[in-house]
Amino acid sequence: GYRAGRRGSRGRVVLQTRKPDLPVVAQIVAGDYPAMYQKEMADRRTFRYPPEVRLIMISFKHRDERTVAGSARLFADLLQPHFGDDLFGPMKPVVSYVQLQHIRRIMLKVSPTLSPTSVRTTLWAARDRVLAHSACRNVTIYFDVDPM
């Protein structure tokens, strides 16, 4: 199980919250970790989050903001017929400008019923089509499967 403190002494845990009436607070105080787990897994099934689906974060970087925005939009338009409502974005991340590069992101929820090979083929084909445009050829595009 879980513990607080050192090996030989009993520790103390302080839980600070604005909403002490939340069920999760009662579960923590009671040490009801199985109930917490069951609730979390039910929510993940309902809202289609891992491990129910795989997530893929697609990032775009370029020094020109209009170029990166246009590239991400084109990529999303190419993926929309394949992923439908499981495509989110393109969006500006909270930190959208790093080391003189503007950033855009697209998140995909990928059903476990889809073949990883077909998903990879679709993503690489879209990437190749975007980079074939002269305005987009210097955009950096990368894929993060199962992002944190």
Tokens representing 47? 């809202």
CATH topology of domain 54-145: Alpha-Beta Plaits (3.30.70)
Phi, psi of 46 (to 5 degrees): -60, -45
What's the distance, CA 75 to chain centroid? Answer: 17
The pLDDT of residue 4 is 64
Angle at 134 between CA 132 and CA 139, to 5 degrees: 75
The residue written with tokens 């689906």 in the block is: 53
Of 144, 147, 133, nearest to 73 by C-alpha is: 133
**H or E stretch covering 68:** helix 65-83
Looking at every residue in the chain, the average pLDDT score rounds to: 93
The pLDDT tens digits for 81-100 are 999 999 999 999 999 999 99
Of 58, 50, 61, nearest to 87 by C-alpha is: 58
The pLDDT tens digits for 67-83 are 999 999 999 999 999 99
Amino acid (one-letter) located at 132: A
The pLDDT of residue 1 is 55
Phi, psi of 22 (to 5 degrees): -65, 140
Q: Does position 146 have pLDDT exceeding 80, yes or no? A: yes
Tokens representing 29? 């105080």
The pLDDT of residue 14 is 84
The pLDDT of residue 9 is 76
Of 59, 58, 47, 46, nearest to 108 by C-alpha is: 58
Q: Where are the domains of the chain?
A: 1-47, 54-145
Does the pTM surpass 0.95? The reply is: no
